[in-house]
Amino acid sequence: MCGSLGSTSANRLALDLAVDRLQAGGTASVDDVPLGHVPMFSPDRADDPPAAVAHMRSLVEAADGVLLAAPEYAGGLAGGMKNALDWLVGSSSIYQRPVVVLSAGTTGGVFAIEQLVRTLSWQGALTVGTLSVNAPRTKIEPGVGFVDAETVQRIEDWADALVAAMSMSPESLLERVASVVVPFGIDPARFGDLG
């Protein structure tokens, strides 16, 4: 899920790199979850969602794990991503799914990451990795993608964290999630025992 529609989006390029990594590692299929046509959330439509929302929900529900990358705008999570996630609350589509979150942006998107971790945790998603990429334009070659070796490695590790989570025992998974969410002030007890 990408929270930027920019034609040269750094967050999209990070996702592209992560997807290459997943596919090289043998992940069966990776779907893009399009957010560009998701309308503003309406509680009146939560049980009878517009087509773009129904499509988004079905892709998330079919997924074994989800990668989310979004910019930070004005000190917060890009609104399009937050809006999309709000549509998932009523359907519990992302409940108990392992997820990894990333923000690429000028100052590294730390507030966007914090909000992503919190809103995903509130929906019962299991955040197993976060990644902040600051000054992404200095790490990207136009027309190529991320070329900075350290950043490429961090994005690949980020993707690997999602794959690793998929085969963890419930105990190890919960331990992993706790290590990610506790620094954000989130009580891992909210995830139960994942049994």
Ligand X SMILES: Cc1cc2nc3c(=O)[nH]c(=O)nc-3n(C[C@H](O)[C@H](O)[C@H](O)COP(=O)(O)O)c2cc1C
Closest-CA residue to 54 (of 43, 45, 63, 67): 45
**Residues 6 or more apart from 24 whose CB is under 8 A from it?**
none
Applying the rule CB under 6 A, the residues between 74 and 103 that interact with ligand X are 74-75
Mark 28-67 with x for binding to ligand X (rule: CB under 6 A) and - for no binding.
----------------------------------------
Residue 114 binds to ligand X (criterion: CB under 6 A): no
Instruction: Return the number of the residue (20 or 61) whose C-beta is nearest ligand X.
Output: 20
Q: Which residue is nearest to ligand X (CB)?
A: 105
Q: How far is the CB of 7 from ligand X (least distance, A)?
A: 9
Which tokens in the block code for residue 112?
């966007």
**Residues 6 or more apart from 93 whose CB is under 8 A from it?**
56, 57, 60, 61
Closest-CA residue to 18 (of 167, 168, 162, 166): 162
> Could you tell me the CA-to-CA distances from 36 to 73, 79, 81 in Å, in that order?
17, 12, 10
The residue from 1, 72, 84, 130 that contacts ligand X (CB under 6 A) is 72
The residue from 23, 106, 153, 179 that contacts ligand X (CB under 6 A) is 106
Residues at the site binding ligand X, with contacts judged by CB under 6 A: 4, 6, 9-12, 71-75, 104-107, 109, 136
